[in-house]
Structure 1
Amino acid sequence: MIRVRITYSKRGRGCFIPHVVIPQLIYRSGRRAGLVFALSEGFTPRPRVSLGPELPVGVVAFAEPADIWIEKWDEGTLDRWNNVIPEAFTITGGEVYEGPSLSKSCDASGYLLGFRSPIYFEKLAHDLEQGIFLQEKHVFSAVEGTFIKLILKTPFAFGPGTLVKKLVEAGYTKGWSDVKIVRTSVGCWNGSEVEPVVTQRVLPRLPRNFKTEGMLRHD
């Protein structure tokens, strides 16, 4: 068996599939694509699938990492897999991997934040620029249209749930209903962006008008 590191995107209805269910989704769709998975030992063998940092229900993701242990990986695997995986998901990259675990390989995560209120948006953008908010976790931030692009450290310890909690505590939002979060990548900060754990070979299938759907409103 070989270890393969993959990335996948999830959007639309796929965002409402809990993180704990993703290993079975990867396993079942992979089996339909012809992959043979290694199984754990014990009375209830499970497919060997190791996920990246937890992603809360409702959060769109572009390049979530996972490690899988399978019998074979070739150039046609991505196409075969994406032909059978549920439409809300895309396997965006994959390669045979030998190295540290995901928790030791990923030191940063990238986000896009959108707000229903321009007041919250402008206040947070200003405070991030001035270093007032998230000083210990903040790596980089910038305004991109109606989004705030945000890079944060320690993705396994500081995820979207903790981010929203901090936003509420600091008075930038009232809760999840006021903010939309997209996790664009999990990987390593190279000084200008967060590089995904593997080369991205397939673009995620995104909803039409994704950049404006449900984001900043001025009404």
Structure 2
Amino acid sequence: MSVRVRLFYEKRGGACFVPHIALAPLFTRTAWRAGLVPEMTRGFSPHAKMSFGPELPAGVVALMEPVDVYLGSVPDDLLERWNAAMPDGFRVLSFLLPREGAPSLGRECRAALYWVRSPGALSRDELIDRARAHYGEAVMDAGDAVGEDSAGWTSLLLAEPARNGVGGWVKAMIASGDLGGWQDVNIVRVAIGLWDGTKVELPGRLAP
């Protein structure tokens, strides 16, 4: 019988350009290299059983992403073994074992906090105006980013990130001429989970 393990990981630097579709093979290879045994799906083309949070466009840095993996066992040194096998730019920060019957990541990832900046193109107020025009009521909060290394960043909290991705927003700003291209905007997904009115609560734990 396998164990459901919820990992929280970051991807920085060149790792942010790894597309969402490549994450499952990457994490599967990592598990095997770490000497772990992932549970495989059944059927004509079996693959490791995993569940990721809502998709991010390539190029967006992520600081606290959840993924559920199903392993045959959970060793005491899981983090050390997993991180030793991960590619550069990826790092697992922590993990937990969801309770029996806990909701899926799809149900628990209902809000996402982003930091956005557009040096030389759009000011903070202009970014917020463009976000409200594009997302409407899905913008739950916006303003100056708060936190370590947040100076110069605009904070943007979006509801239902699976439907309200940042890729479509950036493409809309490029189409309108507000941005010359993706090179004119920097985006970081700081956290994803549930919004409790003051912060994003990660699936199964509080955000730091």
Q: Tell me the TM-score normalised to structure 1 length.
A: 0.81
Unpaired segments of 5 or more residues in structure 1? 204-219
Kindly indicate whether residue 122 of structure 2 is the aligned counterpart of residue 116 of structure 1. Answer: no
Moved more, 190-199 or 14-23: 190-199
Q: Structure 1 residues 69 and 19 mapped into 2: Cα distance closer, same or farther (>3 Å)?
A: same
Q: Identify the structure with bigger relative contact order (alpha carbons < 8 Å, sequence gap 6+).
A: 1
Whole-Å separation in 2 of the counterparts to 1:60 and 1:101:
23
* Residue in 2 that maps onto 1:64: 65
Task: Tell me how far 1:3 sits from its aligned partner.
Answer: 1.3
Q: Structure 1 residues 132 and 4 mapped into 2: Cα distance closer, same or farther (>3 Å)?
A: same
* Residue in 2 that maps onto 1:127: 129
Residue type at the aligned position of 2:143 = A
* Residue in 2 that maps onto 1:76: 77
Where in structure 1 do 4 or more consecutive aligned residues deviate above 6 Å? none
Moved more, 165-174 or 51-60: 165-174
Task: Tell me how far 1:175 sits from its aligned partner.
Answer: 3.1
- Partners of 1:94 and 1:199 within 8 A in 2: no
Task: Tell me how far 1:27 sits from its aligned partner.
Answer: 1.1
Q: Structure 1 residues 125 and 164 mapped into 2: Cα distance closer, same or farther (>3 Å)?
A: closer
Q: Structure 1 residues 60 and 68 mapped into 2: Cα distance closer, same or farther (>3 Å)?
A: same
Task: Tell me how far 1:15 sits from its aligned partner.
Answer: 1.3
Residue type at the aligned position of 1:111 = Y
- Partners of 2:200 and 2:206 within 8 A in 1: no
Whole-Å separation in 1 of the counterparts to 2:163 and 2:65:
15
Query: What per-residue deviation string (whole Å, max 9, x for no partner) do you get for residues 135-155 of structure 1?
Result: 311111121321101110001
Kindly indicate whether residue 201 of structure 2 is the aligned counterpart of residue 195 of structure 1. Answer: yes
* Residue in 2 that maps onto 1:25: 26
- Partners of 1:4 and 1:69 within 8 A in 2: yes
Query: Quick one: percent identity of the two aligned structures?
Result: 34
Where does 1:38-187 land on structure 2 (aligned, <5 Å)?
38-97=39-98, 98=100, 99-117=102-120, 120-124=122-126, 127=129, 134-144=135-145, 145-168=151-174, 172-187=178-193
Whole-Å separation in 2 of the counterparts to 1:67 and 1:158:
22
- Partners of 2:128 and 2:143 within 8 A in 1: no
Q: Structure 1 residues 200 and 92 mapped into 2: Cα distance closer, same or farther (>3 Å)?
A: farther
Q: Structure 1 residues 83 and 126 mapped into 2: Cα distance closer, same or farther (>3 Å)?
A: closer
Unpaired segments of 5 or more residues in structure 2? 146-150
- What is the count of residue pairs matched by the alignment? 200
Q: Tell me the TM-score normalised to structure 2 length.
A: 0.85
